[in-house]
Amino acid sequence: MAEAAIDTEMTQQVCTQCMAPQSVQTHFCSACGSIQPVASGTDFFSFLGLPRKLRLDETELEKSFYALSRLFHPDYFMGATEAEQRASTERSSMLNVAYRTLRNGVARVQYLLSIEGRKEAEKKAPPDLLEEVFELNMQIEELKTARRLADENEIAGARSSLEDALAGLRAKLATIDEQLVALSDDWDSAFDRGAMPNERESLLDRMSEVLAHRSYIRNLVRDIEEVL
Amino acid sequence: MPVIELSLSGRPKSGRVVGIDLGTTNSLVAYMSENGPEVIRDQSGNALVPSIVYFDDRQDRLLVGEDARDRLITEPRKAIYSVKRFMGKGSADVQEDLSLVPFQIAPDSEQVIGFQMGDRVFTPPEISAFILRDLKRRASRLFGEEVTQAVITVPAYFNDAERQATKDAGHLAGLEVLRIVNEPTAASLAYGIDNREEAIVAVYDLGGGTFDISILKLKDGIFEVLSTNGDTHLGGDDLDNRLITLVLNELQRSTGSGVANDPAGFQAIRNAVIKAKHDLSESGGTLIAIEAGAEFGIQYEREITRVELEGLIGDLVERTLGPCKQALKDANLDPEQIDEVVMVGGSTRIPLVRRRVRELFKREPHVELNPDEVVALGAAIQADVLAGGRRDLLLLDVTPLSLGIETMGGVVAKIINRNATIPASASEMFTTWADKQTGIDIHVLQGEREMVDDCRSLARFTLKGITPQPAGLPRIEVKFLIDANGILTVSARDVRTGDEQSIEVKPSYGLTDEQVEKMLLDSFEFAEEDLRKRQLIEARNEAETVIRAAEKALAGQANGLVDEQEREAISHTLDELRRAVGGEDYLLIREKTKALDDASQHLAEVIMDRAVLAALRDRKPSEVAEG
């Protein structure tokens, strides 16, 4: 039902200049060539003519970013109608955000989750990290106290243990990123196979959880970097 | 192929677009000639117009540039310099600057600075408009037609209010500002595309009042800015101030009396230290000598070495390195990954600056192009792109500062991050918190810090006319768009009805549209006489061009091409125009010029058709017309 509704919307889209009917993904009117506004609900993948997959060639992505920039940029619509100028700005800004989002592996997963209807995951500590986090907060406090007392020995000690912890956390981040890559591969092959919805759902759930852990650790790393 | 003119007079239909560098110390205008971008010089060959405006309220006399500079010493309170540092600022922002300039600031300068010049008050956009008008005239003279469109450059790190103030200045000067371009980006255009297929370029731009660093990726004619950073309050002026302070302190010690309260003496000192600063870029030592110091009761002369100067300004030069490192970090690059470093702005002539930049990027920076002219040249190139002259180049610039909105507890929620490629947009959903609430206030800020008080307030928007409903029910989608100029516009839509929602904008700094419109009228009133004279000259010039073209067509080429009646009509309008040119009424001249242009339109087309046919037959058009 829902898809049928979208379909009718697609055919209802008409060119702002010559009123010729358009499909939602067209950047330019097929009849008169004028630039078209972005249809509401267009996602970054369809905007760039890409399948909703997670592994993508970043060189190709850059190429298409440059090529589309050359087509959309407001520089080239200075003398155009107001509607075309608006459409050019709209397409350019969408292109810019789409490129920025999709070229980064993590942001790409985050974005996929959002268009697949997932809420932004809360930061969540990985279970195996809970004890470590408690320890870390202690060490951060120790360093702050040592600084207040200007105790050079204590400062050096607290610093070095925090630095060790930081190295460990960075290693964990690397592992998590590997997990994300593996999950991305799984997602793409599920996509290619036309997998059942429940398989896709469970992949999305796992990605969501890994991302939640990731942002938790990122925050920790940032906190430690700040105090160091 | 012969050049085919589209009308007899050969005037381009779209008009020229010039590139303008509106600098803190100097301003200049450039255009795209057949041989590439060129700066426009005055009769004496000077491209630079000192960014100084003198106004005498008693005589209603206005001077700009060199002429105004002479008044800095004789009538210092009537001459404004370094106005760029005041663009888009409120009085609280510039306390430090104000302590070092002799200008009088009008009351009510909290949101827009007002310079008190006798009975009149001028805002920074108005002062800048006088400079722009001067540049516009210079360009109009060269082309023999009025220039009405321009690209104006600003420091990359300029915020929304500072950009808007610059756009307002252009508007006040009678220029349609097609684009605000960032100075370092413009400079990179002028340096051109490297021979290499792909290059990462850092542009270090230390001007009279501002510092920018931009890192770009150049590939296939695309200039993609990866990151930018800077300090809009760091430049040659600050270096001068260090030297001025040195002199003032030494004077204080030796004579026991200050001269800070005497603006003329202050200017004499300022001139002397600027000269010394320039000298020290060439030699290891020089003299700070105050010209005619006795007139101001100043007896002061002192040797100064380059090493001493470096000691005085070292920390300021050091301050430029932080933004450089941040820009590298934001672009995810190490200094070693930078292929080229380009130096822009007069202050990069200072050896210490070059040395520190070389050390940071571990390579010799480019200084081949005149650092004072390179930005204007780049602006001319971008102007050419916008005029439709070329499509091989494309600038993809970024917004220098994050955009955010105020949320609960005075916290700023970022909606567009710094270094996002522009145009950039973001949408946010808003609703009401009380039953039957009909308006929603949105406070927009720029900056990287978390709290409202630490960011720069841009504007307050009020969404008005919301249908009274229970709290939380209305759904208003607000779209924030930073356009290709780096300027914010906000639009809102009621999601349920799809209707545009009306928005009331209160800019935190700068002028409202109404104020700009009013000033526009004000400046016209004030410049009326002057304007009429100029318009008369321009109208006559234009008329002469059309007259010459028509005479030529009638004399040589009209025979047999058009009928007698048409010939008569052309001759008749030609006579009328000749008579009008003899008079003083520029409106009449314009009207008759157009009449002649219209009357000869058909003849022009016939001649052109002939020329095209001739070209197709590979023969010279003159042979056809005469044969």
Q: What is the pLDDT of residues B354-375, one digit of tens each?
A: 999 999 999 999 888 888 999 9
What does the DSSP assignment read for A151-166? -HHHHHHHHHHHHHHH
Kindly state whether B148 is in contact with chain A, defined as any CB-CB distance less than 8 angstroms. no
Write the DSSP assignment of B85-127 as a string of letters: GGTT--GGGGHHHHHTS-PPBPS--SSS--EEETTEEE-HHHH
User: Of the candidates B288, B303, B318, which is a domain's last residue?
Assistant: B318
Q: Are residues B275 and B259 in the same domain?
A: yes
Q: What span, in angstroms and rounded, lies between the C-alpha atoms of B359 and B351?
A: 12
Write the pLDDT tens digit of every residue in B180-213. Answer: 999 999 999 998 754 557 899 999 999 988 999 9
| Residue B60, φ and ψ in degrees, nearest 5 | 55, 45
Chain A contact for B558, CB < 8 A? no
Q: Does B425 touch chain A (CB under 8 A)?
A: yes
Distances in Å between the Cα of B553 and the Cα atoms of A145, B276, B389, B510 are: 92, 60, 29, 53
Cα–Cα dist A60/A63, whole Å: 5
Which domain-ending residue is among B261, B293, B318? B318
Inside any domain, residue B456:
yes
The domain in which residue B306 lies consists of: 236-318
Q: Does B386 touch chain A (CB under 8 A)?
A: yes
Q: Are residues B542 and B615 in the same domain?
A: yes
pLDDT value at B102 more than 90: no
Tokens 């004496």 appear where? B44
In this structure, is residue B282 part of a structural domain?
yes
Per the CB < 8 Å rule, is B484 touching A89?
yes
pLDDT at B532: 67
**Contact state of B481 with A94 under an 8 Å Cβ cutoff:** no
CA dihedral sign of residues B550, B551, B552, B554:
positive
- pLDDT of residue B315 exceeding 90: yes
B2 domain-assigned: no
Is a pLDDT exceeding 60 seen at residue B526? no
* pLDDT tens, residue by residue, B529-558: 556 666 777 788 888 888 888 887 787 655
The verdict on B74 and B98 lying in the same domain is yes
Report the pLDDT value the prediction gives residue A157, as an integer from 0 to 100: 81
Share of chain B above pLDDT 70, in %: 90
What pLDDT shows up at residue B618? 53
| Token pair of A149 as six digits | 């007392």
User: What are the tokens at B377?
Assistant: 């040249």
Q: Is there a single domain that holds both residue B221 and residue B346?
A: yes
Instruction: Find the CB nearest A79 among B388, B421, B484.
Output: B388
Which residues of chain B are within 8 Å of residue A66 when distances are taken between CB atoms? 219-220, 222, 224
Name the minimum distance, in Å, from the CA of A86 to any CA of chain B: 10
Provide the shortest C-alpha distance from residue A199 to chain B (in Å). 32
DSSP states of B251-296 as a string? HHHHHS---TT-HHHHHHHHHHHHHHHHHTTTSSEEEEE-TTGGGG
Looking at domain A11-103, what is its CATH homologous superfamily?
DnaJ domain (1.10.287.110)
Burial class of residue A222 in the structure, from the number of CB atoms within 10 Å of its CB (0-12 exposed, 13-18 middle, 19+ buried): exposed
ipTM exceeding 0.90, yes/no: no
Under the banding of pLDDT at 50, 70 and 90, the label for residue B525 is low
Q: For residue B126, give both structure tokens.
A: 């108005």
For all residues of chain B together, what is the average pLDDT?
Answer: 85
Residue from A35, A63, A93 to probe the interface with B (highest B Cβ count within 10 Å):
A93
- B6 Cα to chain A: minimum distance (Å): 18
On the question of pLDDT at B234 being above 60, the answer is yes
Question: Could you report the per-residue pLDDT of B160-170, keeping only the tens digit for each?
Answer: 999 999 999 99
- Confirm whether B5 is domain-assigned: no
Alpha carbons within 13 angstroms on the beta-carbon side of residue A134 total: 4
The pLDDT assigned to A2 comes to 36
Q: Work out the angle at residue A174's Cα, subtended by the Cα atoms of residues A171 and A177, and round it to the nearest 5 degrees.
A: 155
- Beta-carbon contacts of residue B196 (< 8 Å; ≥ 6 apart): B339
- Helices (runs of H) and strands (runs of E) counted in chain B: 16, 26
Least CB-CB distance to B424: which of A66, A78, A96? A96
Q: What's the whole-number mean pLDDT along residues B499-509?
A: 79
The predicted-structure confidence for B394-439, as pLDDT tens digits, reads as follows 999 999 999 999 988 888 889 999 999 999 999 988 888 889 888 8
Q: Where are the domains of chain A?
A: 11-103, 127-227
B468 Cα to chain A: minimum distance (Å): 27
Tell whether B553 is within 8 A of chain A (Cβ): no
B338 and B213: one domain? yes
Q: Contact B183/B28 with Cβ under 8 angstroms?
A: no
Same domain membership, residue B371 and residue B270:
no
Nearest CB neighbour to B421, from listed A75, A78, A100: A100
pLDDT in tens, A158-169: 888 888 888 888
- B10 domain residue, yes or no: no
In angstroms, rounded to a whole number, what is the distance separating the alpha carbons of residues B447 and B401? 5
Do B167 and B100 sit in the same domain of this protein? yes
For chain A, counts of helices (H) and of strands (E): 8, 0
Statement to judge: residues B194 and B77 lie in one domain: yes
Q: Is there a domain that residue B7 lies in?
A: no
Q: Residues in chain A whose beta carbon is closer than 8 A to a beta carbon of chain B?
A: 66, 69-70, 73-76, 78-79, 89-90, 92-94, 96-97, 99-100
CA distance B388 to chain A (A): 7
Is the domain of B382 the same as that of B464? no
User: Residue A197: its pLDDT value, please?
Assistant: 87
Nearest CA in chain A to B415: A97
In angstroms and rounded to an integer, the radius of gyration of the C-alpha atoms of chain A is 24
Lookup result for tokens 């040659």: B236
| Gap between the Cα atoms of A20 and A13, Å rounded | 9
CA–CA separation, B472 and B449 (whole Å): 29
Query: Which of B510, B526, B559 is at the close of a domain?
Result: B510
Tell me how far CA of residue B349 lies from CA of B190, B212, B229, B315, B365, in angstroms: 18, 16, 21, 17, 11
**Are the Cβ atoms of A97 and B222 closer than 8 angstroms?**
no
Write the pLDDT tens digit of every residue in A62-120. 999 999 999 999 999 988 889 899 999 999 999 999 999 999 888 999 999 999 888 77
| Residue at B1 is within a domain | no
Around Cβ B75, how many Cβ atoms within 10 Å? 16
The DSSP result for A172-215, as a single string, is HHHHHHHHHHHHHHHHHHHHHHT--HHHHHHHHHHHHHHHHHHH
Residue type for B249, please?
N
Q: Which residues of B touch A69 (CB under 8 A)?
A: 222, 394, 396
Query: At residue B2, does pLDDT exceed 50?
Result: no
Report, as an integer, the average pLDDT of B46-75.
85
Contacts (Cβ under 8 Å, ≥6 apart) of B439: B462, B463, B464, B465, B466
Count CB atoms within 10 A of the CB of residue B490: 16
Stronger pLDDT, B621 or B207, i.e. the higher one: B207
Count of beta carbons in the 10 Å neighbourhood of residue B403: 24
Distance CA B535, CA B586 (A): 6
Contact between chains at B394 and A97 (C-beta distance less than 8 A):
no
pLDDT in tens, B5-42: 333 333 333 478 999 999 999 999 999 998 889 999 98
Q: Is pLDDT of A29 > 70?
A: yes
Q: Could you give the angle at the alpha carbon of B217 between the alpha carbons of B211 and B223, nearest 5°?
A: 85
Residue B421 in contact with partner chain A when CB distance is under 8 A:
yes
Instruction: Name the closest residue on chain A to residue B176, using Cα atoms.
Output: A78
B-chain CB neighbours of A93 within 8 Å are 422-425, 481
| pLDDT for residue B625 | 43
The verdict on a CB contact (< 8 Å) between B422 and A100 is: no
Distances (CA, A) of A185 to A18, A108, A110, A121: 44, 13, 15, 21
The reply to whether B224 and B265 lie within a common domain is no
Picking from B220, B395, B425, the nearest residue to A93 by CB comes out as B425
Nearest residue of A to residue B385 by CA position?
Answer: A75
Q: Residue A11 in 3-state DSSP?
A: helix
**How does DSSP classify residue B506?**
E
C-alpha to C-alpha distances, A84 to A36, A40, A87, B427, B479, nearest whole angstrom: 7, 17, 5, 21, 18
Please tell me the pTM assigned to this model. Answer: 0.80
Q: Is B483 on the interface with A (CB under 8 A)?
A: yes
* Count of the separate structural domains present in chain B: 4
Phi and psi at residue B105, to the nearest 5°: -100, 135
**pLDDT for residue A38:** 87
Q: How far is B173 from B603, CA to CA, in rounded Å? A: 37
Q: How far apart are the first and last CA of chain B?
A: 19
Residue for token digits 């002369």? B301
Residues A78, B308: Cα–Cα separation, whole Å? 52
Q: Are residues B194 and B338 in the same domain?
A: yes
Q: Is the pLDDT of residue B503 over 50?
A: yes
pLDDT in the model for residue B362:
92
Bridge-based pairing state of the strands B403-407 and B440-446: antiparallel
Contact B391 A89 (CB under 8 A): no
Is B8 a member of any domain? no
| Catalytic residue list of B | 21, 84, 183, 205
What pLDDT score does B624 carry? Answer: 40
**B505 pLDDT more than 80:** no
